[in-house]
Structure 1
Amino acid sequence: MSIEILLVEDSPSDADLAIEALRKSKVLNHVHVVEDGVEAIAFVRHQGDYANHPHPDLILLDLNLPRKNGREVLAELKSDPDLATIPIIVLTTSSAEEDIRSAYSLHANCYLIKPVDLEQFMTLIKAIEDFWLAAVKLPPRRT
């Protein structure tokens, strides 16, 4: 069985890098990309254009998004009992203590800071793969 990953990222270059790194994964996965928080909520709730998309097993969430920011997405998903068990990894450029505290208070499963260096970014995505896709037992997929 493959792992369905929702990447919520408004930077096309960061999205492309993450997809490329995950394509090299030993674990079969499908990456779906949305560019803002409104689309993220629609995808997870199977609304509109996303009605037939699969339920994500893991979400990689940027904080600084248009229309609905990552904090709002995190709060909405983690406050819904039907969606709260989806692991959400905050993957952002912000190293601000307030952002880190806020993300964890909203029940992010982890907080990772995107490195500026390409090689370090690829290493970080590999670490996500090694831990979240290979070592962790993810919750059963919603039907």
Structure 2
Amino acid sequence: MNKKIVVIDDDQFDISMLRRGLEAAEIEIDVVSVIDSRSAVRVIRDENPDLAVVDLSMPHPNGFVVLAEVRADVHISHIKALILSGSTSVHDERKAHQLGANWYRVKPETLHGYRLLAAEISEFAAAAPRLE
């Protein structure tokens, strides 16, 4: 069974680049994308992914709120979470970790950068135990 990630990002281009990075790196991970952050927690609960990739800068709720809601939900609080952001702010990274993010990365600017990120995501998702 392939590992599964849910990507929450209001920017279709960023979702597309992550998918292209995974494909270019020949990594087989099922990707479920969510562009409406209001439905993010429901989709994560329904999909039970190995990893949730959450964009920080979204309209309400933003990535911090989504992450806090995931960590507060006993059914999905165990799911690994990556905050993927355009922000290089140490404050944002610290806050993400305080809210329970397992990992924080700045969004790459090139396809090559997304390939490298895809390889990291693959390793991270592979390390996540699959809970059914």
Taking structure 1 as the reference length, the TM-score comes to: 0.82
Q: CA RMSD in A?
A: 1.7
Partner SS state of residue 45, structure 1? helix
How far the C-alpha of 1:88 sits from its partner, in A, is 0.4
The answer to which of 73-82 and 26-35 deviates more is 26-35
1:45-124 counterparts in 2 under 5 A?
45-46=45-46, 54-124=47-117
How many matched pairs? 132
The answer to which of 74-83 and 104-113 deviates more is 74-83
Q: What stretches of structure 2 of length at least 5 have no aligned partner?
A: none
1:4-19 counterparts in 2 under 5 A?
4-19=4-19
How far the C-alpha of 1:104 sits from its partner, in A, is 0.3
Bigger relative contact order (CA 8 A; separation at least 6): 2
| Residue matched to 1:22 | 22
How far the C-alpha of 1:67 sits from its partner, in A, is 2.8
**Identical pairs, percent:** 30
How far the C-alpha of 1:132 sits from its partner, in A, is 1.3
Structure with the largest fraction of helix: 2
| Residue matched to 1:141 | 131
Given that residues 36 and 69 in structure 1 are in contact (C-alpha distance below 8 angstroms), is that contact kept between their aligned partners in structure 2? Answer: no
State the distance in 2 between where 1:132 and 1:97 align. 22
Q: What stretches of structure 1 of length at least 5 have no aligned partner?
A: 47-53
Runs of 4+ in 1 over 3 A off after TM superposition: 24-28
| Residue matched to 2:124 | 132
Taking structure 2 as the reference length, the TM-score comes to: 0.88
